[in-house]
Amino acid sequence: MASDPFSNAMAQLAQALKFLEIEPQILEILKKPQRILEAEIPVKMDNGITKNFSAYRVQYNDARGPFKGGIRFHPHTDLVEVKALAFWMAIKCAVVDIPFGGGKGGVTVDPKKLSSRELEALSRGWVRAFFEYLGPQKDVPAPDVYTNPTIMGWMTDEFSKLAGKWRPAAFTGKPEDMGGSAGRTEATGHGGYLVVDALAEKLKLEKNKTTVAVQGFGNVGYYIAKKLHDAGFCVVAVSDSQGGILDKRNHGMDPENIMHAKKAKGLIDGCYCVGTVCDCENYQKISNAELLELEVDILIPAALENVITLEVAKKIKAKAIVEMANGPTTPEADEILKARQIPVVPDVLANAGGVTVSYFEWLQNNRDEVWTAEEVLAKLKPIIENAFEKIWAMSQAKKVGLRTAAFVLALTRIIEAIKTRGF
């Protein structure tokens, strides 16, 4: 039975603290968010009835810079989940050494059940609820599960209206014609691809013989699958909330084709057609549970937290795991994977490409600059690769897992900032 995400986050913190000397006052700071904001957002629905939605913003730690982190719209989102995600954001920003702290937001809502007008009203309501605590030098939100550039555009517009001036640096992940960065949409997947590439080299895996399974086919899952396919890796299985498909030949599928088919049919299907060409025989339908247990080289959870539990960890046949979702592995599962010598590249490194390019977007907005996608991805590469090398080396030197190494690196930086600023 998996415990809640914040308990998992605190267990990960405790594990890393075994390798750090820390004053009790600083430990108290790290164990709690600096500020928790909650609001009920009223939205007049299309049927004329007003409905309230529970909304959150957790500002975990800003020792290294403004709070930074996405906003999740999901029916299961609650304060405990948002607290965990906010903590992981603080760690993540420190892992890649960008000048931000950690925060996260959310609304308990199934956005698939809202009309576009209702979704816009909810998004603008979120900004009005938390306005005084947001801003380019205070707290800079971004997209997360079931939020996207359109929503960030509405939020930036609402924030700017309330501020009485155009403030594009208040949100990242915006549409490009509103100051969004080229390359932001694909950034998390691209960063993940760089991590898989570096890991494959360490594990001496040959790209064109390396099989990969990806759970989740949204922004992150799609782009990492596409980037890996384009680079020559064999993506043999993908899934979304409704299930997935496995390439029975183990050749690898083209995620772009699968996305075309998903858009046409509304789900990932074992039989997909591009134009008049259909490919129905080579694919087998699989469940999300089956995907996690496939005999592949690299398993990539890219959907939600707590999917790799103790029981699942015992059955995993992959040689390595790269966490693109936040918090997909429970601490108990981590122990099993460690004992089974299956390396796990943690979320705070593997999916840090997104927040790094969010930082680039914030920089461009603050400096009135516009960078090309090529420039953005070229600047991302050394940041991710250096972080990976540092964490890999520390993991080898201290004989600890990659997650603990990443936490030790990040916590060292956060603690230093807390001390320098004074507390």
* Contact indicator for 322, 316 with CB cutoff of 8 Å: no
Out of 288, 293, 363, 417, the only residue in the binding site for ligand NAD (CB under 6 A) is 288
Residues making up the chain, counted from first to last:
423
Using rule CB under 6 A, residue 217 touches ligand NAD: yes
Instruction: Give how far Cα 239 sits from Cα of 43, 139, 163, 245, 291, Å.
Output: 33, 33, 42, 6, 8
| Count of C-beta atoms within a 10 Å radius of residue 202 | 13
Using rule CB under 6 A, residue 188 touches ligand NAD: yes
User: Does the active-site annotation cover 174?
Assistant: no
> Please, which contacts does 372-376 make with residues 24 or more away whose CB atoms are closer than 8 Å?
372/182, 373/182, 373/183, 376/181, 376/182, 376/183, 376/184, 376/187
Interface segment toward ligand NAD; rule CB under 6 A; list 31-39, 55-63, 212-220, 253-261: 212-220
Using rule CB under 6 A, residue 304 touches ligand NAD: yes
CB of 88 to ligand NAD, least distance (A): 9
Out of 37, 84, 145, 320, the only residue in the binding site for ligand NAD (CB under 6 A) is 145
Q: Of the two residues 181 and 188, which places its CB atom closer to ligand NAD in the complex? A: 188
Among 68, 83, 92, 104, the one annotated catalytic: 104
Which of 353, 360, 350, 359 is CA-nearest to residue 406? 350
CA distance 246 to 236: 6
Count of chain residues binding ligand NAD (CB under 6 A): 24
Which of 283, 206, 201 is CA-nearest to residue 239? 283
Out of 143, 168, 331, 401, the only residue in the binding site for ligand NAD (CB under 6 A) is 143
Classify residue 206 as exposed, middle or buried by CB count within 10 Å of its CB (0-12, 13-18, 19+): exposed
| Residue in this structure with the two tokens 């690299």, named with its chain if needed | 298
x/- letters, 3..42, toward ligand NAD (CB under 6 A): ----------------------------------------
Out of 81, 186, 197, 240, the only residue in the binding site for ligand NAD (CB under 6 A) is 240
- Interface residues with ligand NAD (CB under 6 A) are 143-146, 188, 215-221, 239-241, 288, 302-304, 324-326, 351, 354
Q: Which sequence positions are flagged as catalytic?
A: 104
